[in-house]
A = this chain, B = another copy of it.
């Protein structure tokens, strides 16, 4: 019983709150965003915000978790013959593949990430999301390779390696003087780690 007006409204509101938080944070920086600003724009009470997220950082982190959840879900539809690191690489890099079609490497996307990752408060938020996301992805990996995360540390190690590689590479890419294609940077990073990871599992 996951359907129903109740549940869908809940989800929509949750999404609206977190999206609005990101938008405002991009406009002025997260530290210049009050919770009141968020709820005013969305049209709910300050207290309702607290029913969904305990802080604006949480609201942002939630988006990262959702994205990773999608990647984790996508893991189940990769061919079973694929080595785990290859499969993980594919589902993680998937969202970044579309943008390589444009000649310009998505300046707005770059700006968005820059805004988000350059703010220390944001980084904390991202890290918080990353922790939850690692658990999610780790569970999906464990399911795929048929082990338990409680007895086998490898699924979480792989999940962690993947997500932290993603973040690290994104941050490095943002710091580059002249823009390089993001996808190739990501591919290269994942390939380098994978040279060992595909081989240990």
Contact = CB atoms under 8 A, between A and B. Distances in A.
A64 interface: no
Interface residues of A, number: 36
Contacts of A123: 128, 131
A165 B160 contact: yes
Interface in A156-201: 156-157, 160-161, 164-165, 167-169, 171-173, 175-177, 185, 189, 192-200
A195 B185 contact: no
Interface of A: 123-124, 127-128, 130-131, 134, 150, 153-154, 156-157, 160-161, 164-165, 167-169, 171-173, 175-177, 185, 189, 192-200
Contacts of A176: 150
What 5 pairs between A and B have smallest CB-CB spacing? A196-B196, A127-B127, A195-B196, A192-B200, A153-B172
A4 to B, nearest CB: 30
Contacts of A168: 134, 153, 156-157, 160
